[in-house]
Amino acid sequence: MRSERTARAQLDEILVSRQIVMVTGKGGVGKSIVSAALALRARELGLRPLLFELDAPPRTSLLPDGKPAGDDVEELAPGILGINQRSEDAIRDYAISTLPSRTVAELLFENRVSKLFLRASPSVSEMALVGRVAILAEKHGADGPVIVDLHATGHALSLVQAPAGIMKVLRGGVLHERARRIEEILSDPQRTAFITVALPEELPVTELLELRARLRELRAPLGPVVLNGVIDDPAPLVADEVVAHLETGALKHAAHDLRALRTWARRAARESERLKAALAQEGTELLTLPFIHDELKPGALAGLLAARLGGAS
């Protein structure tokens, strides 16, 4: 479809030209696997992306022939860098990267009072995380985007608002200036894009639309929407009456399964149309990814979705 081609072209342009790509949406919609697929697609475009995971649990690699991300930036798969940033370490890492010397940062965290203050202060943890992203983007941005697999919906909003929160507390100085620069980066459509992800279900779609409205109020640059896990009617030529008849005979179990899949597909189609209609009003394209029936390892699944992002059927 033309709209799908437009969305894929827009996504490719974002991967090629932006330093930071934030991937966000309701928990459980597949943000992590979509982030991995975006990294694979960026590599196909000749880039060397950095996959920035946040507090990822122990798991096998999300990339084909890859390894899990660790605490430091390293190559996870050929041509793809990555890191698993722990929230509890983010403040220290950001301070070391920002303050005049590592010694000053270490002394700051050896002081129990200052350490408790930093961890309890509003926006500090979020500022540290987004600061780490910005620093890595400045360092690696020439090679490819930093693709950030964010926590659930509210976390994206907290990150966008963090620089302003810091500037309200600190009226001047190094950290205030750094917060100002990061706020500029996050709101710059030439450097940053937010990719929002949903499943074709009522609550994820509703939450995505609310999230996009709030991000727009905060001047966050929005990219296309990815609708993940789309399922089609498995037997579109079989009428409901035929299914009902089959349910009374020897094929009743298969017919029950077909009816369940058809009901699921119709609900997905209804939510997909609702999302398309809402996005059409704001001029945003929708990119769909299919529900994969086979039980695949995450790396193989990300590879299939990356191929779909590139236009494969």
Q: Degrees (nearest 5) of the Cα angle 280, 282, 286? A: 50
Q: Residue type at 122?
A: P
Q: What is the 3-state secondary structure (H, E, C) of 121-185?
A: CCCHHHHHHHHHHHHHHHHHCCCCCEEEECCCHHHHHHHHHHHHHHHHHCCCCHHHHHHHHHHHH
Q: What is the pLDDT of residue 60?
A: 84
CB proximity list for 294: less than 8 A, separation 6 or greater? none
Q: Is 193 exposed, middle or buried (0-12, 13-18, 19+ CB in 10 A)?
A: buried
Residue 38 located in a structural domain: yes
Domain count of the fold of the chain? 1
For residue 236, pLDDT over 90 is answered with no
Domain-embedded: residue 31: yes
Average pLDDT, integer, range 12-21: 96
Taking residues 161-185, what's their average pLDDT? 82
Residue 221 forms part of a structural domain: yes
Q: Is residue 97 domain-resident? A: yes
Residue 233: predicted pLDDT:
84
- In a domain, residue 239? The reply is no
Tell me whether residue 254 is in a domain: no
Span 127-155, mean pLDDT? 87
Centre a 10 Å sphere on the Cβ of residue 114 and count the other Cβ atoms it contains: 12
Neighbour count for residue 278 (Cβ, 10 Å): 18
Round to whole Å and give the CA distance between 21 and 132. 14
pLDDT bin (cut points 50, 70, 90) of residue 144 is very high
Domain range for residue 107? 2-233+284-309
Provide the residue count of the chain.
313
The string of pLDDT tens digits covering residues 98-109 is 665 566 555 555
Identity of the highest mean pLDDT range in 32-36, 57-61, 89-93, 94-98:
32-36
One-letter amino acid at 46 equals: G
E-only strand ranges, the chain: 20-25, 50-54, 74-77, 80-85, 146-149, 192-198, 222-230, 286-290
With respect to residue 268, please indicate whether it lies within any of the assigned structural domains.
no
| CATH number of the domain residue 167 falls in | 3.40.50.300
| Structure tokens, 246 | 């089959």
- Can you give the pLDDT at residue 105? 54
Which carries the bigger pLDDT value, residue 48 or residue 232? Answer: 48
> At CB < 8 A and 24+ separation, what contacts does 215-219 make?
215/156, 215/157, 215/160, 218/157, 218/160, 218/161, 218/187, 219/187
Asked if residue 46 has pLDDT above 80, the reply is yes
Average pLDDT value over all residues in the chain: 86
Whether 195 maps to a domain, the answer reads: yes
Is residue 20 predicted with pLDDT exceeding 60?
Answer: yes
DSSP 225: E
